[in-house]
Chains A and B, each alone.
Chain A
Amino acid sequence: MSENEPILSTHGLIAGYGDFQALFSVDFEIAAGEIVALIGANGAGKSTFLSAIMGLLPVQRDMVRLDGEPAGGTPAHTMVRKGIAIVLEGRRLFTGMTVEDNLRVAIDNGRAVDAGSKEPAWTLERLYELFPILGEKRRTQVENLSGGQQQMVAIGRALLCQPRVLLCDEISLGLAPRVIREIYQVMPSIADAGTALVLVEQDVRLAQSASRRLYCMLEGRITLTGKSGDIHRDDIARAYFGTKHAVA
């Protein structure tokens, strides 16, 4: 497999909740080690898109492909073992459990990494190096952490699933700018290890600066895609709000 072959792709992805259709034929792809941002306003379908990939929503089998193999509609826990992990919006930590117990659930149930493989596996030690505060607070119950620390646990939990593709749903939401910078600083090092990163963001500037490629969604459709550095802000504004509101 060549380096640019997508590790994860969607093909005419359609998904929704009951009778309500939220995604309309979404085509998307990401290669190993690539950082791709997905931007869009509230209700554009970004979280639905991630849920559909993750197997949390019913989708047709060939609409989602992993290494070119159809994988749509696979149960979420199986998807994790195949190498897709997600940092859910709103962190969604296991309350009543310590930081380390939260992380251990991922170690217990994540993808098995071959001992002989070149990719370095995520361990608690490696994670505590990335986020030293988590090492200090490892015996603290997660509900007693600050928002930023909770987000680090959520990211850590996803990383310890040993993902080949990591989906991050609005990890900057509700965090102080300094904490956001701190968290986004570690993203390149995660991608350098070969993990593909999908960053869902509402903050366009942040998304553009952190990613190599970018997709913009509006009302369940991809309205813009290209290299993050090349896209003009006016184009993004049009794709983000729709042509009628293109005033930015």
Chain B
Amino acid sequence: MQWLDASIQGILLGGMYAQYALGMALMFGVMRIVNISHGDLVILLALIGISISSAFHIAPLALIFILVPIAALMGWALQRVILNRVVGEDPLPSLIATFGLSIALQNLMLQIWSADTRSLPGGGLAAASFNIGGIYLGVLPILVLATAICLTGGLDFVIRFTRFGRALRAAAADTAAAAVTGVNARSVYAMATAIAVGILGIAAVFQAMRVTVAPADGPAQLIYAFEAVIIGGMGSIWGAFAGSMVLGVSQAIGFRIDPGWGILLGHIVFLIVLATRPQGLMTRK
């Protein structure tokens, strides 16, 4: 019973990780751009959301509709201004550029919001739960997981079946060949990064409702997103979702064994996957 409960809580936690991982699956998995500032963008968006919410008294879930357009615009600008200049066969330039951006963002956030931890008041939602057969399920974590499933399904559909998705996969596979097939890779990439960061706008609201956020929290979220994408398999959107579940369940089980083991067990499972199935769980080759 204890382990069933841990697994269920782990899946719910995985829902949160999936929300970080989806943008990473799109940028790192499909476009092969390493965005080190991924986690910092979540935190930046969360802090912006907290400030907007307290200044204008906006309910957390309504905040999503304000934060997502801001996030998408940030993603679009990130690609247009920085990443389109460094994108290419070599992943190193994008890694270095976004590493610099990550440090700059962390310091900017410290300047504006100080090192204090903050959170979004979730009202009754954050504490609400119900009991099924002795297992308590939080309403907010279920909402997070349901949102993650919808986002994963939606993104997977867009990548596989739309004109934009085909153009993106084509540009990622061979930029020059895509260009001579009429694809404007730069604008397709700008759109993709807008989507990737736009999803972080949703993740940021849930993150700030679930726990507290502080300017230095970004790198941890970055690692979880990276691990989820690699566990699931590069290029697979549902793979990133599955990877998030593996990570969430591993951490939740680890926490039950010993509170100090939770995060560690997640990393260990990641290393085991990397050693035994480096292509990821859901990629064939």
Q: For the complex formed, measure the closest distance between the CB of B76 and the CB atoms of chain A, giving whole angstroms.
A: 19
Q: List 11 A-B contacts (CB under 8 A).
A: A76-B176, A77-B183, A80-B180, A92-B177, A93-B174, A94-B169, A94-B177, A96-B173, A105-B182, A111-B182, A161-B181
Would you call B176 and A105 a contact (CB within 8 A)? no
Given A96-B235, A108-B163, check contact A75 B170 (CB 8 Å). no
Chain A nearest CB from B57 CB (Å) reads: 45
- The smallest C-beta distance from B157 to any residue of chain A, in angstroms, reads 14
Which of B169, B179, B181, B185: most chain A Cβ within 10 A?
B181
The 6 closest A-B pairs by CB, nearest first: A109-B182, A80-B182, A76-B179, A92-B177, A94-B173, A108-B163
User: Which residues of A are found within 8 Å of B174, using beta-carbon distances?
Assistant: 92-95
Measured CA separation A93–B178 after assembly (Å): 9
Please give the residue numbers on chain B whose beta carbons come within 8 Å of chain A beta carbons, in ascending order: 163, 166-167, 169-170, 173-174, 176-185, 235
Contacts of B176 in A (CB 8 A): 56, 76, 88, 92
Nearest-CB distance from B39 to chain A (Å)?
28
Q: In terms of DSSP, what is the predominant structure of the interface of chain B? A: helix
Output the nearest chain A residue to B177 by Cβ-Cβ distance: A92
Q: Do residues B181 and A80 form an inter-chain contact, with CB atoms below 8 A?
A: yes
Question: Which chain B residue lies CB-closest to A106?
Answer: B181
Q: Which B residues touch A65, using CB under 8 A?
A: none
Query: Which A positions have Cβ atoms within 8 angstroms of B?
Result: 54, 56, 75-77, 79-81, 85-86, 88, 92-97, 101-102, 104-106, 108-111, 157-158, 161
Which B residues are CB-close (under 8 A) to A94? 169-170, 173-174, 177-178
A26 to B167, CA, bound (A): 34
Check B179 against A105 for contact (C-beta < 8 Å): no
Residue of A nearest to B166 (CB): A105
What is the bound-complex CA distance between A157 and B169, given in angstroms?
15
Selected contact of B166 from candidates A88, A101, A110, A161, CB within 8 Å? A101
Q: Point out the residue from B167, B179, B180, B235 that lies within 8 Å of A108, measured CB to CB.
A: B167
